[in-house]
Chains A and B, each alone.
Chain A
């Protein structure tokens, strides 16, 4: 261990107090401005240009490794995968045919009721970068940013369900806050009954909860929750999760309902950014 062996004896602390107060005030000013007026996007973006190369340097070995692994897989493995994908495509296409018919029918029915049509959307695929942001917040960094048209508040899905929402946008990257983050809430609907409520994140990777359901509500284990589309952020009808344990304590007025997210929160690599366009 190396002790600090020297002596800058003069101890120039004279200006230290003043300077630290100045810097601290500057930082406090930034906090207030960022929180209150939300005007610091520019500064944040400029700073993120400095940080981006570091993020890239951290994530690239992992990408290189997966590229290497992909390029040395044997023919048999590829053939098996190909067969599996074909089978999947077949079933998906089959279901898609039905979907087209259903969508058309839905459109006709909605037209009859003169209701606004559902959401059609534009999608963009982004990859999660191998970068850890914060141990105590459920966030990921994705390699699509402002220059790809991503905007703050945009809905993000993965292959199996709703994943999260864009929290910050930089030039080439964006922070996505997961639906399981403790600060996140998403308007949902119980698919079986049409009951609308709000699902709130818990900060744990694979659990959401429904804190606002009265104990008399008809909700049972296994119910599918889909987005209700009410907040105007998430498109309607995408799976959010399935109901897990429902605890009804007669002493409480609200039930305690666990939800398992449909999206593969800690396994997904590719995400979909969704643009809402009202037809």
Chain B
């Protein structure tokens, strides 16, 4: 609680912007499906670390930003991100006690849920993406999770 109050908005907003940039930096076509969803990981991080600094509002706005960038139906990523970020917030006390491996597995499950909501909305709105490669995203995300937490924790804990 005390620590929650120490974390200002600046690192949250800054990290979200950097992650958004990383989301659209051009990659070679083959590597594109391997791009980690940095913005989603950043939102998870703040949901776990400090629900007050970011919280569900951050998840909602970040999701809308992804919707606008990808040009999909507005609210799709916002819905997925809000639901999974709420889940992450719910689990946060346990997550903080987890080992790295346990955290990665949990993040994998969260990302799979995120991807599933997207899959469902894609189908419901009539633009199904059935490429198997989309289910790579949770694996990639779980693998880079230690990197994200390492970087972000340095950002606000000097």
Chain A interface residues toward B at CB < 8 A? 1-13, 16-17, 19-20, 23-24, 26-31, 33-35, 40, 43-44, 47-48, 50-51, 54-55, 57-58, 62, 130-137, 139, 167-168, 175, 183, 203, 205, 266
A139 to B32 alpha-carbon distance, docked (Å): 13
A8 touches B4 (CB 8 A): yes
B149 touches A2 (CB 8 A): yes
A27 touches B131 (CB 8 A): no
Q: Which residue of A lies closest to B92 (CB)?
A: A4
Q: Which residue of A lies closest to B35 (CB)?
A: A135
Chain B interface residues toward A at CB < 8 A? 1-4, 17, 20-21, 24-27, 29, 32-33, 35, 48-51, 55-57, 59-60, 63-65, 68-76, 78-79, 82-83, 85-86, 89-90, 92-93, 95-100, 121, 125, 127, 129, 131, 133-134, 146, 149-150, 153-154, 157
B65 touches A35 (CB 8 A): no
A58 touches B24 (CB 8 A): yes
Q: Which residue of A lies closest to B27 (CB)?
A: A132
- Which residues from chain A contact B63 at a C-beta distance below 8 Å? 27
A13 to B55 alpha-carbon distance, docked (Å): 11
Give the number of A-B contacts (CB < 8 Å): 155
A27 touches B20 (CB 8 A): no
Known: A20-B83, A51-B65. 4 other contacts (CB 8 A): A23-B86, A29-B75, A30-B75, A135-B35
Known contacts A8-B1, A8-B4, A47-B64, A24 near B79 by CB under 8 Å = yes
A122 to B27 alpha-carbon distance, docked (Å): 34
A19 to B82 alpha-carbon distance, docked (Å): 10
Q: Which 9 A-B pairs have the closest CB atoms?
A: A30-B75, A4-B96, A20-B86, A27-B79, A135-B32, A31-B75, A2-B153, A34-B74, A27-B78
B71 touches A4 (CB 8 A): no
**Residue of A1, A35, A50, A167 with most partner-chain B CB within 10 A:** A1
B89 touches A16 (CB 8 A): yes
- Which residues from chain B contact A13 at a C-beta distance below 8 Å? 89-90
A131 to B3 alpha-carbon distance, docked (Å): 38
A208 to B25 alpha-carbon distance, docked (Å): 27
- Which residues from chain A contact B131 at a C-beta distance below 8 Å? 136, 203
- Which residues from chain A contact B93 at a C-beta distance below 8 Å? 7, 9, 11
CB distance from A74 to the nearest CB of B (A): 28
B71 touches A175 (CB 8 A): yes
- Which residues from chain A contact B86 at a C-beta distance below 8 Å? 16-17, 19-20, 23-24
